[in-house]
Amino acid sequence: MALQYVTFCTVDELPSGSREVFDLETMSILLMNVNGTYYAVENMCSHEEYELHEGELDGCILECPKHSATFDIRSGEALTAPAFSPIRIFPVKVEGNDVQVGLNLD
Ligand code: FES
């Protein structure tokens, strides 16, 4: 599958410390700016189907608001129970003023 970078927002629209949810046809993606570095993850906990976007973010560790499982948003790795499977992550790059997320669109 070919990876295609899609513009989600501009750099100005997602300042450091902010996050935004983008709903695609097939999934919801949570895009975050952590001290100037962007991270994108599927906005869905791997424990039960619960959205992650309102979870506490401590550095790069995102806590699910439902049962408090934590995930490393750099790798998607599940760090604490009750989640054991990783969440999906997506590469992010900045092109000019655009923040782009790499998606397999085929
Ligand atoms: S739904 Fe996320 S920890 Fe249970």
- Ligand 1 near 64 CB (within 6 A): yes
Task: Report whether residue 74 contacts ligand 1, using a CB cutoff of 6 Å.
Answer: no
Dmax (CA) for the chain in angstroms is 40
* Burial class for 51, CB neighbours closer than 10 Å (0-12, 13-18, 19+): middle
Find out whether the beta carbon of 99 lies less than 6 Å from any atom of ligand 1.
no
User: What is the count of structural domains for the chain?
Assistant: 1
Q: How far is the CA of 54 from the centre of ligand 1 (A)?
A: 12
Q: Residue 77: which domain range?
A: 3-104
Tell me how far apart the alpha carbons of residues 9 and 69 are, in angstroms, rounded to a whole number: 28
Give φ, ψ of 12 to 5 degrees: -65, -30
Residue nearest to atom 4 of ligand 1 (CA): 67
Contacts of 49 (CB under 8 A, 6+ apart): none
Q: What is the CATH number of the domain that holds 12?
A: 2.102.10.10
Low-confidence ranges of the chain (pLDDT < 70): 1, 106
Å from CA of 26 to ligand 1 middle: 20
pLDDT for the residue numbered 2: 86
Ligand 1 contact via 45 beta carbon (within 6 Å): yes
